[in-house]
Amino acid sequence: MLDSSNQKYPPLPLIQTWIWMMTQSGNPEIQEKGQSNLIASFGSLAKANEYLMEQNQK
């Protein structure tokens, strides 16, 4: 599990925007930018997903 108390993550609306960019934009350049932003912030898409799952449980 991620320990969000030790690490500062971007605001949830920004993360959701990046996910929209990656999955819904329909533009390959925008999709790549959304993915790269998530990976830059979390280290991997799996960790970004884990963080979102934790946020949805709150």
Convert the pLDDT of each residue in 1-42 to its tens digit. 455 455 789 999 999 999 999 999 999 999 999 999 999 999
Domain spans, the chain: 12-56
Is the whole model's pTM more than 0.85, yes or no?
no
What confidence score (pLDDT) does residue 39 get?
Answer: 97
What confidence score (pLDDT) does residue 5 get?
Answer: 52
CA 39 to chain centre: 7
User: Using 50, 70 and 90 to split pLDDT, how confident is the model at 58?
Assistant: confident
